[in-house]
Amino acid sequence: MDLLASVIKFFESGLFRLSIRLFFLFIVVLWASLIYWTYRDAEKRGALALYWAAVVFVFNFFGWAVYLILRPPEYLDDARDRELEIRTKEVLLGKGSLTCPACLKPVEGDFLICPYCRKTLKKSCPSCNRPLETGWIICPYCKTAL
């Protein structure tokens, strides 16, 4: 009986130690993946990725909870898309400063070509050299037929 009892005890303690180890391993893996997830997420949102990864590393779940509260609400890509959409709408509505129809960068009204993407914006009059809209058939400044 004594032998059986000690064998059971040995298995019990061994299993116990094993489960404790597995538990800690689980915590460490979870911790590491939280740090990794936070780094990637912060990077995508344009937050200070390394700083937040360090916060999660030091404060673990608490740091992660703080990050979830304080992180920027949207991904950088989404913000960029939205900004582009707004600028496109502004161009369509004729609001705001002039922008290149191809790359949407700001251009001046008398630019003949977009300095960012080389898109032809206007042509110059062969007689007076003033900037003309591409669809015009006559120069409104010097009456030269185009």
Q: Which of residues 121-140 bind Zn ion (CB under 5 A)?
A: 125, 127-128, 139
Structural contact between residues 3 and 17, judged by C-beta atoms closer than 8 angstroms: no
- As given in the structure block, the two tokens for residue 36 are 């990794």
- 84 touches Zn ion by CB under 5 A: no
133 Rama class: left (phi>0) / alpha (psi -120 to 50) / beta: beta
Closest contact distance (angstroms) between CB of 78 and Zn ion is: 24
Q: Which is nearer to Zn ion, 56 or 139 (CB)?
A: 139
Burial grade of 98 (CB within 10 A; 0-12, 13-18, 19 or more) = middle
Residues 86-105 that bind Zn ion (CB under 5 A): 100, 102-103
- Residues lying near Zn ion in the complex (CB under 5 A) are found at 100, 102-103, 114, 116-117, 119, 125, 127-128, 139, 141-142, 144
